[in-house]
Structure 1
Amino acid sequence: MSGQQFTRYERARVLGSRALQVSYGAPVLIDTDQTEPILVAAQEYDAGVLPFTVDRGDD
């Protein structure tokens, strides 16, 4: 997620996907006191540590 701008729909998709991963036991990538998966995902997104890319097909 280095320097890429996301639309609100892309952001929602990334956060939802990451929250699902966290809820199924994926390791959390940052130190946080949050326990809700969506809040953990949001903090990870804001920190820029998520390994997601969005392919828009804009050749």
Structure 2
Amino acid sequence: MPDASISEVIVLVILWTFPAAVLYWIIRLGVRHGTLDAYRIDRTDQRIAAMQADLRPGRPSSAGD
């Protein structure tokens, strides 16, 4: 294994910090976007189910009919 000096290690750390940070934020934002999409889909499904329940025969609607 080659013997790396402290200055070489510092340069490598500096060079790899930015790409690692960019990759981290891309993954983080992707996960967050997916989580928000799943939340929106769930809320939409809940609203549709509530509207369908209001429209079923024999049950009063939310409008008070």
TM-score by length of structure 2 reads 0.30
More helix per residue: 1 or 2?
A: 2
If you compute each CA radius of gyration, which structure gives the higher value, 1 or 2? 2
TM-score by length of structure 1 reads 0.32
